[in-house]
Amino acid sequence: MSTVVLIGSQWGDEGKGKVTDFLAEKADLVVRFQGGNNAGHTVVVDDKEFKLHLIPSGILYSDKLCIIGNGVVIDPAVLKAELQSLIDRDVKIAKLLIDKRAHVIMPYHRLVDEAEENSKEDDKKIGTTKRGIGPTYADKSSRVGIRVADLLDEEEFAEALKYNVDAKNKLFENYYQAPTVNYEQIYQEYSEFAELIKKHAADGHEVINDAIENGQNVLFEGAQGTLLDLDFGTYPFVTSSHPIAAGACLGAGVGPTSINNVIGVAKAYTTRVGEGPFPTELHDELGAKIRQQGAEFGTTTGRPRRCGWFDAVILRFSARINGLSHLAITKLDVLTGLPEIKICTGYRLNGELIKTFPASLKELAKCEPVYETLPGWQEDISKAQSIDELPQNARNYLNRLSELVKVPIALVSVGPKRSQTIVTKDIFYNDGDGKTWHTPRL
């Protein structure tokens, strides 16, 4: 038995969808534990591209049980459309479960999200996707949210919806000066959604813990990335949930002693979407070239991603916060052809060299990256099936990343397809304590 948490080690968009899909082959269960349809995971199978926002990436394997955990917020309209798109492409969805404790995104959440973002000055905007994620988590914390269990109970749903519609309409009228929402319309629409969700509703934590006790392999799939975490991210330019490894325990209902390994997915460079400081960002033609070669445009929003060099300060911070046992390095192929490649090994702040990640955004914005330069490689690596088939300079680059982060590399992606993945460590293999690994030279 092995339980693996897969998280993003940067600002999200690291390629978690592909890595989840690849690792799911050896998993029995794949569990999504936080976030909502503000996330987007792209998976390529046999030249077919699938874009998933709510449903775990393991759904593309017909024999895997997939669970949307209690920590996820669910937009039923998006769920319905995503399920239908999979059905239309002959993907079986019978093995999808939705935790009854998961909270439901309502139409007024999307309206609040948009109104709140639009009311801010440009330099105060968060860069929200305006999909209602934050307001849903806010209602959850305020104890007025509507869960799947409530949605499936007609009496409970009617009462909770009436309270929320009245409260939100006062907000729209008196604060945002925005159009109000209609109770009857929402009730009818979401009652229909309830019929769809009822087919998949379950006590997810029971299923997950039973699987662990029965010795099955469980893969926990995170969305977004460590630097978007509500506590440890670049606050306030963060998401509204916990995409770090600890979030898997909360968002799936398992204890920390049940987790064997934590895999941090990181690009061979760094990207970010939205606002906030980004020390290694490239504002030149090279940044634009990496964006084009890496197809760095958001799966959910289509927004162009900001691109920069690999930041080892961020990754070391992420390794500690998440307790990473391994790294999965993606998009190594995007750097092919560059004469030299830089790695940020520290920051210079007010003339002083630091190697820690500042909590203050004001300080982070002042940080100047300190670079180490390595020679690049010109050879095509997209067909490499082993580390030995990579150019020596590519191996040297990977080794240096691992040394700086102090975490061994388990997977290397050299293209978007499942087949374009190099495995250096079987992370579903448990050597006794599940955590004692030695950093290998690649």
Point out the residues that are catalytic.
Answer: 13, 41
Task: Give, in degrees to the nearest 5, the angle at Cα 292 between 287 and 294.
Answer: 90
Strands 41-45 and 48-52, sheet pairing: antiparallel
Any residues with CB less than 8 A from the CB of 30 and at least 6 apart, and which? 20, 24, 56, 57, 58, 59, 64, 65, 66, 67, 218, 219, 221
The strand order across the sheet containing 29-32 reads 201-202, 96-99, 65-68, 29-32, 218-221, 3-8, 261-267, 326-330, 409-413, 421-423
Instruction: Classify 276 in phi/psi space as left (phi over 0), alpha (psi -120 to 50) or beta.
Output: left
Any residues with CB less than 8 A from the CB of 336 and at least 6 apart, and which? 376, 377, 378, 379, 380, 381
The burial of 98, by beta-carbon neighbours within 10 Å (0-12 exposed, 13-18 middle, 19 or more buried), is given as buried
In whole angstroms, give the CA distance from residue 10 to residue 31: 21
Q: Which residue has the tokens 């940080």?
A: 367
As a three-state string, the secondary structure of 289-302 is HHHHHCCCECCCCC
Residue 105 DSSP class: -
Question: 53, 42 in Cβ contact below 8 A?
Answer: no
Nearest to 31 by CA among 199, 208, 266, 242: 208
Helix, strand, coil share (%) of the chain residues, nearest 5: 35, 20, 40
Quickly count: other Cβ atoms within 10 Å of residue 99's Cβ. 30
Question: 336, 379 in Cβ contact below 8 A?
Answer: yes
In whole angstroms, give the CA distance from residue 242 to residue 266: 17
| Identity of the amino acid at 353 | L
Cα–chain-centroid distance for residue 240?
A: 12
Any residues with CB less than 8 A from the CB of 363 and at least 6 apart, and which? 349
